[in-house]
Structures are given as C-alpha cells and as structure tokens.
Structure 1
C-alpha cells in the first residue's frame, strides 16, 4: 500500500514523534538517524532532508516534548481558582510522581546539552519559561494575600531545582524512594516556601473549576 503524502509540517511532526519514541527507548547517545527512519519505514535521506543532522533532530524532539509539558503546566496555572490551589496542582503534576511525560527526555537533554551548544540554548530557554510561569502565579498569590513569599523567582527556582533532582533520583535509581515519600517532600517544600504549614496546604481542596 502506498504511503499517504504528507505536508512538510506533517512529515516533520511525524519524524519528531518517532525520534521522541526512539530517544525514550534507546537514549540520546545510542539513537541513530537510521533508527528513526526504520521506525517509520522511510529512508535516512528523508530524515536528513528535514533535519540536517542528528543534533538538530534531537533538539526538535526535545523542544516538542518539553513544550507539550509546558503547555499543560500553563493550562493548570491558568485555572480560575486560588493561586495556592493552582500551584499545588501544578507542582504535583510536574513532580516525578505526577503525569508529566518529559522527564526522561529532560534528563537526556541536560546530559547532551553539556556538549551541544544548540541544545543547551533550547533547554535554557524552556527551563526559564517553566520558572517564569510558576513565579508569576506565586506573585499573584502574594498580591492576593493568600500566602507570604519575599522572592517569587527565587522560590520558583528552588522548587523546580528540588523537583529536577527528585526526578533524577526516581528515573536513575528506581525504587530508592517511594512515591509517597517523594510526594510528601514536594508538599512540605511547597508549604514551607509559601509560609504555610503542611496541614494548611493539605486542607486545601484538590479539585477546582477550570
């Protein structure tokens, strides 16, 4: 059966999604252009026509996956409810015990970005967007009198740094820390940063109207 002709945008998206799957299965270092081509039944030349090198394809794959998670984060933070509810929901989702899909790719991306300036620029920009989105909602909560936080940007950095570190532990040393303990640490850190007790944070209803 003949393959359906795709537009340039559709073909690039197909290649990026295949690259994400291959990276998740093999890791950035091991994945090859040939692996992505074989997964789709196309030629290496076709992949290289759309992405001139493996590095460019990896950067596109990382950007696609990370932006999808970023869009989900922003949607959670934009809900019509209190800032503290939005923050708790977003942090719980972003934590390694939550539903964020990009952790393996983020970790791979960090490692490769040490050697690849192009990917380093991508990871830096996306990381900045994560922190800015969280800092903005923290500032909203402070302005509304929901909690106290002297430096929303520093708080966003500390929270995301904690979550990043826990994600590495959970991904690399599977089973070393239980999901319940990880979630407890995340909740305790969020409560402390917002000047709340763990009990006050736990008393906030989880469900809210979007």
Structure 2
C-alpha cells in the first residue's frame, strides 16, 4: 500500500515538473495535456487521472514551483539570521536557470490573472505566502536579537516589491542591471532597517 502511494506521488511530482518546464518553455496558452504527458513519460489517461483540467494542472504546477523555490536549506536553523534572509532575497530573483524558469511561470500567472478571477485570487494567495516567508525570517531574526526591531509587514512588502521590479529587468536582460548590483540595491534598505552591515552577506 505504501509502495503504491509512493509511486503515485512520484508520478505526480514528475508530471508537475514536466508541466513547469513546458509552461515556462512555450507558455500556458500553447500547452496541451498530451505535451506534458509525453514530457513526463506517462499516458494522457494517467495525466488526466491526476489533473483533470489544464487549469488545475497550471495552479498545481505554480504551487509546486513555489514550494520548490521556497524550500530553505537544512541548515537554516543554525545559519545566521542575516544569511537566512539573504538566501531568501537571492531566491526571489532569477539568479540561476531553475529560478529563471520559476520566473517564467510567475509571468504566465500575472498574465492569466488579468483575465481570470480564480487565477487572480490564486496569485494573491501565493503572494501572501511569499510575504509570510520573508516576514517569518525577519521575525525570527528580531526574536533572536540578530535584527533590530522593525515593521515586519512593511519591510516584507518592500522586499517583494523590489524583487519583482528588479527581477523583471533581469529577465529582460537589461544591460544596466546585474545580479550583484540588484542584490546590493535590495539589501541596503533592509540592512539599514534591521541594523545590519550594508554589504550583502555571503550565502
């Protein structure tokens, strides 16, 4: 029984990973269930067993992408609070191929949110989770005494806003910005608020 459940979960994960890759590559509007099934190495019938509509597959793929990129390393409980927060900031930006794929998914989500109310509500909920992720790291740092007391809600909103703005420019290949400068620009106001050194920590 456990083996069957584990196999089903592994199949589901494979499908979601394939969906993330396909959506990022060609866009949601061009995605067909057969395309995802072939990429995942499963039958179309099995894909429909797990995800009966394209819309459900899209939202589950976004959730999967978020959960993967928002997974903190195992040593976050022992890492300095500033390093934990810096890792989160780094992961909010398209700083490697995997995160660039995540950003393509977010861009698809933004476009769909303009046309579909359910997608818009889903996007708002994902942003709330991002906000809680950033805020949780700040709260832990304040509680441990590593950070100066701050308005956590406002600072979390600022981090997300700066990450979105700079992230778009990085995705566009804007020659006037680079990853190091972006990390520094986001970190400076955060560090000032929390009483930390202005240099982005080594992560």
Q: What band does the TM-score fall into relative to the shorter chain?
A: 0.7 to 0.9
Q: How far apart are 1:42 and its partner, in Å?
A: 4.7
Alignment of 1:120-139 (within 5 A): 120-139=120-139
Q: In the alignment, what sits opposite 2:103?
A: 103
Cα distance between partner residues in 1 of 2:36 and 2:14:
10
Residues 184, 199 of structure 2: 8 Å contact kept: no
Residues 69, 91 of structure 2: 8 Å contact kept: no
State the TM-score, normalized to the length of structure 2. 0.79
Q: In the alignment, what sits opposite 1:10?
A: 10
C-alpha RMSD of the superposition: 2.9
| Number of equivalences | 196
Larger Rg: 1
Q: How far apart are 1:31 and its partner, in Å?
A: 1.7
Q: How far apart are 1:40 and its partner, in Å?
A: 4.1
Cα distance between partner residues in 1 of 2:149 and 2:173:
33
TM superposition outliers: structure 1 runs of 4+ over 6 Å: none
Q: How far apart are 1:167 and its partner, in Å?
A: 1.3
State the TM-score, normalized to the length of structure 1. 0.77
Change (3 A) 1:114 1:94: same
Residues 19, 58 of structure 2: 8 Å contact kept: yes
Structure 2 unmatched runs, 5+: 1-5
Greater share of helix: 2
Q: Kindly indicate whether residue 89 of structure 2 is the aligned counterpart of residue 91 of structure 1.
A: yes
Cα distance between partner residues in 2 of 1:17 and 1:184:
32
Residues 70, 91 of structure 2: 8 Å contact kept: no
Alignment of 1:191-202 (within 5 A): 191-196=191-196, 200-202=197-199
Cα distance between partner residues in 1 of 2:61 and 2:8:
16
Q: How far apart are 1:147 and its partner, in Å?
A: 3.5
Structure 1 unmatched runs, 5+: 1-5
Please list the CA deviations of residues 34-58 of structure 1 after superposition, one character each: whole Å capped at 9, or x if unmatched.
3213334555444333211111111
Cα distance between partner residues in 2 of 1:49 and 1:147:
48
Change (3 A) 1:173 1:99: closer
Give the SS at the match of 2:29. coil
